[in-house]
Amino acid sequence: MKVKNMDTTYWSVDKNVDNMENYPQIAQAADLLTKNEVVAFPTETVYGLGGNAKSDDAIRKIFAAKGRPSDNPLIIHIAAKSQLHEFVVQVPATAEKLMDHFWPGPLTIIFPYQKGSLSDGATAGLDTVGVRMPAHPVALAIIKKSGLPIAAPSANQSGRPSPTSALHVKEDLAGKIAAIVDGGTTGVGVESTVIDCTSEVPVILRPGGVTKEQLEEVIGEVRVDPALTDTSEKPKSPGMKYRHYAPDAPLYLVDGSREELQEFINEGKKAGLKIGVLTTKENAAFYDADYIFACGERAQLETVASSIYEALRSFNKADVDVIYSEMFPNEGVGNAIMNRLMKAAGQRVLKK
C-alpha cells in the first residue's frame, strides 16, 4: 500500500486533565480511529501508532506508514479486560494472575486467538494474539472512547529507534498518518515485556518494563525464549528476527573496560572518523570522543531504559560515523536494555 502525503493533525493533551475521555482532542482522536485512520498516542512505554484492529484498511495503513514487514504481528491494546472476549478463545490461569497484578502496565500477554475476530493483518495469520492494557491515561482514554480494540506498534519508521516523545513521531511519520496526540514524554522508555501464556510454562518473548523476577513472584517458573540470546535459534515470534532500534551510524557494543572502549575510540579517530559514545553519568567524563551521550545512571538501570531511545536518536543529529556503547548487566531491566542494544547493533560486539 502506497502512503499518500497527508496533513497530520497535532494535538497536545495534558495527561492530568479531569474527565479525560470527553476532552475534545481525545474525542477527535477516537473518532479518527472509528473511521479507520491511524493515530499516534503516548503510552507509558513508548508512543504507539494505533488503528482499528478489526479493520483491514486501518491495519494496512499502519504497516504502510511504518514500512513494517507484513509477517510481524501487532500488539492489541484494550481499555478493559472485558474486551478480551471479543477475540480471545480462553484466558489461561497464569494470564489471569498476570493481568490482575500488572494491568494496566507494560506487560503484553499472548493468548489463543479466535480466528476471524480481528483483521488477519493484525495477527499476521497466527493462532495467537498479543494483548496489553496501557497504563498511560491518554492511551486508555482514547481506546475507551473509540470502543475498539486498537492495534498499536511503536510509532516510528520500522527499524529506527522507538519514539519516546511526540517529536520523535513527527520526525518519522509526519505526513504519513492522520494525527499525533502529544501527551508528553513516556516513562518506562522501552516497550512492554511480552510473555506467552499459551504453553504450560509461560515464555518471555521480549524483555521489557516488567522483569522476569517480577513475573516469577506472581506465577512461579517463567522461561526465556532461547532465540533472545542465541541467534541460531528460530524465534517463536516472527517479529523477533528483525533488526530494530538502529541509529544511522553503525553501533558496536564493547565488552570490556572503559580503557578498552577508549582504545577503540582512539583507533577510530586515527582513521579520521567522528566517534560517538553511549555511556552513563558515572563514566561520561572518562571518555575522549566527538559526541558523548550519558543515558541515565548505571546504578539505576531504570534511568538508562527510560532514555536509551533518546540516546540512539541523538547520534543521528550529531552526525557521527560510528558509535561505541558500553554494555549493561543482563539482569532485571538490564535484560531489556541489552536486548534493544543488541538489536540496534545487529549483534555486533567488540572485545580487545
Which among 147, 153, 161, 18 is positioned nearest to 76, based on CA atoms? Answer: 153
Reading the block at residue 306, the C-alpha cell is 527510560
Q: How confident is the model at residue 22 (pLDDT cuts 50, 70, 90)?
A: confident
pLDDT tens string 73-118: 999 999 999 999 999 999 999 999 999 999 999 999 999 999 999 9
344, 318: one domain: yes
Q: Judge whether 244 lies within some domain.
A: no
Residue 68 in marked binding region: yes
CATH of the domain at 177: 3.90.870.10
User: What counts of helices (H) and strands (E) characterise the chain?
Assistant: 10, 16
Name the pTM for this structure.
Answer: 0.93
63, 184: one domain: yes
Residue 77 in marked binding region: yes
Residue 166 in marked binding region: no
- Report helix, strand or coil for 218: helix
**pLDDT of 35 over the 60 cut:** yes
How far apart are the C-alpha atoms of 295 and 308, rounded to whole Å? Answer: 6
Residue 192 in marked binding region: yes
192, 271: one domain: no
pLDDT tens string 163-212: 999 999 999 999 999 999 999 999 899 999 999 999 999 999 999 999 99
Residue 72 in marked binding region: yes
pLDDT tens string 119-130: 999 999 999 999
**pLDDT of 240 over the 60 cut:** no
Residue 348 in marked binding region: no
Residue 132 in marked binding region: yes
Say which range, 28-32, 65-69, 134-138, 215-219, has the weakest mean pLDDT. 65-69
215, 261: one domain: no
Number of domains in the chain: 2
For helices 24-34 and 137-146, angle between their N-to-C axes, nearest 10 degrees = 50
58, 173: one domain: yes
Structural domain harbouring 44:
9-236
Residue 152 in marked binding region: yes
Q: How confident is the model at residue 234 (pLDDT cuts 50, 70, 90)?
A: low
DSSP 166-181: HHHHHHHHTTTSSEEE
